[in-house]
A and B are shown apart, each in its own frame.
Chain A
């Protein structure tokens, strides 16, 4: 069965610390990969996406993610977090020939303390 697994449900860290959120997927065929962020009281926003090409993808707000096909992983990183990065982060996967059926992980709640 297709699935998306996020390694941590809650992460607490201090400002300026580095962040890495794990995401593994189980999916047959070619996939497109996404990280979405949901700030408190706001809608889901796309942080970055991978369709093809360079497996290291840079997104908005200083985030980046690396696609490792052999490990079925798409981990999200940020070298130095800010208090404003407090949010819930979702990894999502879709089949490359699908239009809009995203499969999401359960999410990781990230709290950045001043």
Chain B
């Protein structure tokens, strides 16, 4: 068990709707990153949060936004959902710094219809 907890595990949304996904990092970790994994592809980096601020961002539109709370947990929000947003969304946690192992949760499967 990696200790990174995500919810919900599966959800179905309609085009144009908004979705919020949640992540609790591994105990003791303070940095949370989000990835999108489309079917048959490797995970793609969305953004990273540390100290409640977005620290790095990948090549995703502003429809993708996030938040980190004082307890280090995090949310990923996606607005105006498109069919192409259907994917597995992965949360990863680590300790701040460049030399630390990154642990992944089991992900949230989002289907947009």
Residues of A within 8 A of B (CB): 4, 32, 36, 42-46, 49, 51, 90, 92, 96-107
Contact = CB atoms under 8 A, between A and B. Distances in A.
B106 A104 contact: no
Nearest to B97: A99
A101 B49 CA distance: 11
Given A99-B94, A101-B48, 19 more contacts: A4-B42, A43-B2, A43-B90, A43-B105, A43-B106, A45-B2, A46-B103, A51-B99, A96-B98, A98-B56, A99-B48, A100-B56, A100-B92, A100-B94, A101-B58, A102-B35, A104-B42, A104-B43, A107-B42
Q: Which 9 A-B pairs have the closest CB atoms?
A: A104-B42, A44-B104, A43-B106, A100-B33, A104-B43, A101-B45, A43-B104, A106-B42, A100-B48
Contacts of B83: none
Nearest to B57: A101
Say which size band chain B's interface belongs to: 20 to 34
A113 B46 CA distance: 36
7 contacts: A44-B43, A49-B101, A51-B99, A92-B42, A100-B56, A102-B43, A106-B41
A90 B44 CA distance: 12
Contacts of B99: 32, 51
A46 B2 CA distance: 10
A43 B4 contact: yes
Contacts of B4: 43
Contacts of B48: 99-101
B56 A101 contact: yes
Contact of A99 (B2, B35, B56): B56
B107 interface: yes
B61 interface: no
B63 interface: no
A99 B40 contact: no
Nearest to A109: B40
A89 to B, nearest CB: 10
